[in-house]
Chains A and B, each alone.
Chain A
Amino acid sequence: MTEPFFALWVYLAATPLAGLTLTLVAYGAGYALYARSRFHPLANPVPIAVAIVVAALAATRTPYAAYFDGAQFVHFLLGPAVVGLAVPLAREWPRVKRLAWPIAAALAAGSVVASASAVVIAWALGASPQTIASIAPKSVTAPIAMGIAESLGGLPALAAVFAVTTGVLGAVVARFVLDALRIESWAARGFALGLAAHGIGTARAFQVHAEAGAFAGLAFGLHGLVAALLLPAVLLLLRSLH
């Protein structure tokens, strides 16, 4: 009786179906808990889903590469999702134009602080050069961070883990930080969240308020653009000073 089941399991585990289904089921469970908590920031669905998937893979001794065969279809959608950020941007364009100066200044200050503070702290506390290079682009979205980390001598997949962790952290702490600073404008709140916590922060901002979501998407896209252009140059400069 167990033999056909085992054969079925071996077949399913070897197809992309298993990884894809597991990802969606785990996210569905995470999202249900998040909705049940009335979208409390501490109940972010991403770490819940990641924990479920990691536990399932460990229990069945499935390697990450086999899982990713299926999960890559979800991962792939990050590309069109980034392209789609043009839509909320186009809708909010009149406000974006009026706020061009605050946007440019907050982008410059925020992106420098996000990257430089992480690099300096990691370095001061004795992280390895590989970890430091992988942590530098942590506030930009995973696929962009992977490309940047690679050009800096870091590990792309580790950079993706740091980027996802940062996104979750930002989505969790933003409300508390912004309330403590008495930031009331939805545009400012959303922009800070998208800048520091890329797509996961943007998803959080959209769940809270449409205008916050649009400005989060704007910051997310602009930060990816600026970081991809500037971070490699800045780190080369730092390295030459050593």
Chain B
Amino acid sequence: MSPFLAGVTWLLVFQSLGEALVRLAGLPLPGPVAGMALLLGVLLARGGVPEAFAAAADALARHLSLLFVPAGVGVMLYARQLADEWVPIVVALVVSTVLAIAVAALVFARLAKRGRGGSES
């Protein structure tokens, strides 16, 4: 099997394990997030990323944007609701996104700099 195909197979196996874990344990978590945590645990215990995982995960990460197109097209279902409430929606989305980026970056950069004695590059 090519590394890419083997990698995709493993990702699906871990997603299935995540879904099973979430259902069986009744966790309020999406299955793929549990699958990611499980895979991270395995990769860290192994001490390295096998080529197969790298091939599949990097290919998916490179075109992650593509995967959001079908959900984005759902905008056509809510044209009326969006037209009626466009002011609060646009203001809320734009302002909160700018604020979230600013707050997360400032907190991260300040604390990382302090931890390293001011040598953050």
Q: State the Cβ distance, B116 to closest chain A Cβ, in Å.
A: 9
Q: Is the CB of A181 within 8 A of B11?
A: no
Top 3 nearest A-B pairs (CB, nearest first) are: A110-B104, A84-B57, A125-B88
Interchain CB contact under 8 A, A82 and B33: yes
Nearest to A224 among chain B residues (CB) is B33
Cβ of A240 under 8 Å from chain B: no
How many chain B residues touch A (CB < 8 A): the figure is 75
Q: Please classify how large the interface on chain A is, using the bins under 10, 10 to 19, 20 to 34, 35 or more.
A: 35 or more
Interface residues of B (CB under 8 A from A): 8, 11-12, 14-15, 18, 28-33, 35-37, 39-40, 43-44, 49, 53-54, 56-58, 60-78, 81-82, 85, 87-89, 91-112, 115, 120-121
**Complex alpha-carbon distance, A105 and B114, angstroms:** 13
Chain B interface, >50% SS class? helix
The distance from the CB of A237 to the nearest CB of chain B, in whole angstroms, is 15
Shortest CB-to-CB span from A3 to chain B, Å, is: 30
Nearest chain B CB to A66 CB, angstrom units:
12
Q: Does A13 sit within 8 A of B, measured CB to CB? A: no
The B-contacting residues of A in range 180-204, CB under 8 angstroms, are 181, 183-185, 187-189, 191-193, 195-197, 199-200, 202-204
The answer to whether A192 and B97 touch across the interface, beta carbons within 8 angstroms, is: no
Secondary structure call for the A interface: helix
Would you give 8 A-B contacts (Cβ < 8 Å), ordered by A? A46-B72, A74-B66, A77-B60, A83-B14, A87-B53, A90-B49, A127-B89, A158-B81
Residues of A within 8 A of B92 (CB): 117-119, 121-122, 125, 127, 135
Q: Quick one: given A27-B66, A101-B111, A167-B68, are A202 and B61 in contact (CB under 8 Å)?
A: yes
- CB distance A131 to B30 under 8 Å? no
* A residues in contact with B100, CB < 8 Å: 110-111, 113-114, 117, 139, 170, 192, 195-196
- Closest approach, in angstroms, between the C-beta of B109 and any C-beta of chain A? 4
